[in-house]
């Protein structure tokens, strides 16, 4: 184990860099048999460097307790993050809630329905008082109860069929990811990814060999220009972009449901606050401070300076990023930057390139929360479990859209720099796989997130993490594209502000009917009964006027009813209006 003595990094429970100590997984689900053991040396070396640089920093590794979520809690958080908090009974905009539901596809609506059903069942169990029954004592369960229990656990026939299909498919060999290596394929963004996956579920995944280290073997994808064209992140207005993460979360969940993968999300662990101004400071705080100097700054100025220095003097350096600088010098440089960076007195031309690359990696690791966010880091890591390359890219595309804007912009700046490093491979001897194996530990290891790794899975998970970084570097143009189907959903949301949609999907209709039925039931029980009052106006009306009053009754409603009675008793409209005035 490489775990530091004083710092509880569970991710450091990794084998040493010796290839003999890294067992090759025999599992059919492993997609990395083509890798030779030596290719992961950079990964284990980087892990060792991280361990050495943090061994003496026990005070900075204080972890908050990570509490396990109770049943239904994860579903409640998901519904809130998906912009559907109103379904939980919380006060909110019912109109916005219904409009969002109206834009969902069949698979997206099914994903919402499943989480709402799970949440509702958990609430019923919590509120239900236990009843002593003779069958509880003797453990007798009737066949009817068994059938009811089974039906409750899988209320959705579509979901049941998908689960059965996925269970059968898990026995197949998923050892491949590259389809038509070196050739160009169409990457369809007009149809929701989950809908495409549901169609593919009827067929079978392609099974071909994989060569992770050979960048030329990677499939090239082309995004066809559809009716809405190709929309990049940044093309949409800030107001429209705010709607994308919730839609992307719903679509990602639907896609994972179809593929049979659980979308796990962490709760952010709180670390001790720091008095530093640059390293170990949240991205939002960094950007707020930077924007006081340069308005509209989207990437931290320190990161921009580090990348600029490396681009000017480090791209041609052999082993850049892989060859570690002096830990003593790096620590000293960090202190000088804290003191002199904002004053402009720091001399970049006096710093060795390998020390700058060490500062870059240290900046990423020292962020209080992972750059890929504490919440979605497990989801990024789990992408490696999706057998099909195109579907892995679809999941990554949605995850990047879900990221907060500061994290997404910072990640893009980093990936653009890493692409430039790979482009100088002939000089710096750092190909795509080398760069990926070096950067993976810095992106996926974080002291704020304890994560137990199953014994014997270290090598597979390490290679999978490096593969995810490799895809983000190589396919970043595709990943920073907003799918046409999401743009269409945003447009529909905007149009729905002044127009009511007819809900054609049967599943959405049923979901909305169920929501309204529950709400009407609650309102009926809580609301006051309407009262009837009699208005006597003997000079104007022969009989008294009966008026039904409730919480919604307005003065105008009473006057309108009074006017109607006057007209029925022979008053003309002019005299009636004058009288009411």
Tens-place pLDDT, residues 547-566: 888 888 888 888 888 888 87
pLDDT for 213 beyond 60: no
Q: Show the CA angle centred on residue 531, arms to residues 526 and 533, nearest 5°.
A: 165
Question: pLDDT-based confidence at 95, cuts 50/70/90?
Answer: low
φ, ψ (nearest 5 deg) of residue 54: -120, 0
**Which segments within 362-498 are labelled E, that is strand?**
481-482
What letter would DSSP give residue 67? P
Domain with CATH 1.10.555.10 in the chain: 283-482
Q: Specify whether the CB–CB gap between 381 and 224 falls below 8 A.
A: no
- Per-residue pLDDT, 551: 82
331 vs 228: which has the higher pLDDT: 331
Q: CA 53, CA 4: separation in Å to the nearest integer?
A: 10
- Evaluate whether 23 touches 16 at the Cβ level (below 8 Å): no
Stretch among 176-180, 458-462, 468-472 having the lowest mean pLDDT:
176-180
Please give the Cα distance from 153 to 160 (Å, whole number): 10
Among 441, 461, 463, which Cα is nearest to 324's? 441
- State mean pLDDT over 167-185: 49
Decide if pLDDT at 204 tops 80: no
Band of the pLDDT at 26, cuts 50, 70, 90? Answer: very low
Of 18-27, 113-122, 312-321, the one with minimum mean pLDDT is 18-27
Give residue 140's pLDDT band: very low, low, confident or very high (50, 70, 90).
low
pLDDT tens across 353-370, in order? 999 999 999 999 989 999
Measuring CA to CA, which residue among 530, 531, 511 is closest to residue 519? 511
The contacts of residue 230 (CB under 8 Å, 6+ apart) are 189, 223, 481
pLDDT higher than 60, residue 388: yes
Residue 72, Ramachandran bin (φ over 0: left; ψ between -120 and 50: alpha; else beta): left
Apex CA 212: angle with CA 419 and CA 315, to 5°?
25
End-to-end CA distance of the chain: 88
**pLDDT at residue number 200:** 85
State phi, psi for 579 to the nearest 5 degrees.
-65, -45
pLDDT of residue 56: 47
pLDDT, mean of residues 49-78: 61
Q: What letters, b where the CB count within 10 A reaches 16 and e where it falls short, cover 185-203?
A: eebbbeebbbbbbbeebee
Label residues 9-29 b or e (16+ Cβ within 10 Å = b): bebbebbebebeebeebeeee
Pair 11, 444: CB distance under 8 Å: yes
d(CA 471, CA 448): 25
**Confidence class for position 467, pLDDT limits 50, 70, 90:** very high
Q: What is the pLDDT of residue 79?
A: 85
Least confident residue range of 121-130, 282-291, 331-340, 551-560 = 121-130
- When pLDDT is averaged across residues 83-106 and rounded to a whole number, the result is 71
Q: What is the DSSP letter of 218?
A: S
Tell me whether residue 135 is exposed, middle or buried, using C-beta atoms within 10 angstroms of its C-beta: 0 to 12, 13 to 18, 19 or more: exposed
Write the pLDDT tens digit of every residue in 514-532: 666 666 555 555 555 668 8
Specify the pLDDT at position 203. Answer: 62
Check if the beta carbon of residue 477 is closer than 8 Å to that of residue 233.
no
Give the burial class of 473: count Cβ atoms within 10 A of its Cβ; 0-12 exposed, 13-18 middle, 19 or more buried: buried
- Residue 455: count of CB within 10 angstroms of its CB: 7
Residue 580 clears pLDDT 90, i.e. is over it: no
Backbone angles phi, psi at 547, to 5 degrees: -125, 130
| 392 has pLDDT over 60 | yes
pTM over 0.85: no
pLDDT of residue 37: 42
Question: Across residues 212-238, what is the average pLDDT?
Answer: 78
**What number of residues does the chain have?**
581
The string over 50-70, giving b where at least 16 C-beta atoms fall within 10 Å of a residue's C-beta and e elsewhere, is bbebbeeeeeebebeeeeeee
Question: What whole-number distance in Å separates Cα of residue 578 and Cα of residue 581?
Answer: 5
Indicate whether 168 pLDDT > 60: no
Mode of pairing for the β-strands spanning 220-222 and 184-186: parallel
Highest-confidence segment of 2-6, 45-49, 58-62: 45-49
Residue 433 or residue 139, greater confidence:
433
Do 277 and 338 meet the contact criterion of CB atoms below 8 Å apart? yes
Q: Is the pLDDT of residue 342 over 60?
A: yes
Pick the CATH number of 283-482 from 3.40.50.800, 1.10.555.10, 1.10.287.3510, 1.25.40.10: 1.10.555.10
For the chain, count helices (H), then strands (E): 25, 6
Q: Which residue has the tokens 């049967």?
A: 506
Residue with tokens 């710092």: 7
The pLDDT of residue 121 is 85
Average pLDDT on 141-166 reads 46
> Counting beta carbons within 10 angstroms of the beta carbon of residue 525, is it exposed (0 to 12), middle (13 to 18) or buried (19 or more)?
exposed
Give Cα 384 to chain centroid, integer Å: 16
Please tell me the predicted confidence (pLDDT) of residue 83: 83
The predicted model gives 146-167 an average pLDDT of 44
User: Would you state the pLDDT for residue 135?
Assistant: 53
* Helix or strand (DSSP H, E) at 119: helix 106-127
**SS3 (DSSP) at 574:** helix
Mean per-residue pLDDT over the chain, rounded = 75
Locate 8 and state its tokens.
Answer: 């509880």
pLDDT exceeds 60 at position 12:
no
pLDDT score for 458: 76
pLDDT above 80: residue 66: no
pLDDT of residue 487: 93
Q: Which of 318, 245, 179, 134 is nearest to 486 (CA)?
A: 245
**What is the rounded average pLDDT of the residues 279-290?**
91
- Cα 577 → chain centroid: 60
CB 383 within 8 A of CB 178: no
Range with the poorest average pLDDT among 121-125, 144-148, 257-261, 262-266: 144-148
Q: Which residue has the higher pLDDT, 452 or 298?
A: 298
72 C-beta neighbours (distance < 10 Å), count = 19
């Amino acid at each position: 184990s490489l775990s530091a003595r004083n710092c509880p990094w569970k991710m450091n429970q990794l084998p040493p860099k010796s290839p003999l100590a890294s067992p090759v997984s025999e599992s059919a689900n492993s997609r990395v048999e083509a890798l030779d053991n030596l290719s992961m040396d950079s990964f284990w070396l980087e892990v060792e460097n991280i361990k050495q640089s943090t061994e003496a920093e026990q005070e900075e590794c204080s972890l908050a307790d990570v509490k396990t979520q109770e049943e239904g809690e994860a579903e409640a958080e998901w519904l809130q993050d998906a912009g559907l908090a109103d379904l939980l009974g919380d006060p909110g905009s019912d109109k916005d809630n219904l409009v969002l539901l109206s834009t969902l596809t069949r698979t997206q609506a099914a994903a919402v329905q499943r989480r709402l059903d799970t949440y509702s069942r958990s609430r019923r169990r919590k509120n239900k008082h236990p009843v002593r029954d003779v069958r509880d004592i003797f453990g007798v369960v009737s066949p009817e109860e068994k059938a009811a229990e089974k039906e409750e656990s899988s209320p959705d026939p579509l979901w049941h069929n998908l689960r059965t299909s996925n269970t059968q498919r898990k026995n197949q060999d998923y050892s491949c990811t590259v389809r038509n290596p070196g050739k160009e394929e169409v990457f369809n963004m007009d149809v929701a990814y989950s809908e495409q996956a549901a169609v593919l579920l009827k067929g079978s995944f392609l099974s071909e060999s994989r060569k992770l280290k050979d960048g030329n073997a990677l499939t090239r994808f082309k995004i066809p220009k559809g009716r809405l064209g190709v929309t990049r992140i940044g093309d949409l207005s800030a107001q429209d972009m705010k709607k994308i993460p919730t839609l992307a979360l719903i679509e990602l969940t639907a896609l994972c449901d179809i593929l049979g993968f659980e979308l796990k999300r962490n709760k952010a662990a709180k670390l001790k606050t720091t008095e530093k101004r640059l390293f170990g400071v949240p991205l939002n705080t960094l950007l707020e401070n930077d924007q006081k100097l340069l308005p509209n700054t989207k990437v931290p100025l320190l990161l921009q300076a580090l990348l600029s220095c490396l681009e000017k003097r480090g791209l041609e350096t052999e082993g850049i990023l892989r060859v570690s600088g002096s830990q003593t010098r790096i620590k000293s440089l960090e202190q000088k930057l804290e003191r002199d960076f904002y004053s402009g007195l720091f001399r970049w031309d006096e710093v060795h390139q390998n020390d700058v690359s060490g500062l870059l990696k240290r900046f990423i690791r020292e962020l209080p929360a992972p750059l890929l966010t504490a919440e979605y880091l497990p989801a990024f890591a789990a992408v490696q479990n999706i057998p099909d390359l195109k579907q892995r890219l679809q999941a990554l595309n949605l995850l990047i859209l879900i990221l907060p804007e500061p994290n997404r912009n910072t990640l893009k700046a980093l990936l653009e720099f890493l692409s430039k490093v790979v482009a100088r491979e002939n000089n710096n001897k750092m190909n795509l796989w080398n760069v990926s194996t070096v950067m993976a530990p810095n992106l996926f290891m974080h002291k704020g997130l304890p994560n137990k790794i199953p014994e014997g899975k270290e090598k597979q998970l390490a290679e999978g993490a490096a593969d995810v970084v490799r895809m983000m570097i190589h396919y970043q143009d595709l990943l920073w594209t907003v799918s046409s189907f999401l743009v269409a959903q945003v447009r529909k949301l905007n149009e729905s502000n002044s127009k009511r949609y007819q809900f054609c999907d049967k599943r959405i209709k049923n979901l909305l009917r169920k929501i309204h039925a529950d709400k009407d039931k609650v309102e009926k029980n809580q609301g006051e009964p309407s009262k009837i009052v009699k208005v006597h106006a003997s000079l104007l009306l022969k009989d008294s006027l009966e008026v039904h009053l409730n919480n919604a009754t307005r003065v105008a409603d009473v006057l309108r009813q009074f006017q109607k009675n006057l007209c029925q008793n022979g008053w003309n409209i002019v005299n009636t209006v004058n009288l009411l005035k």
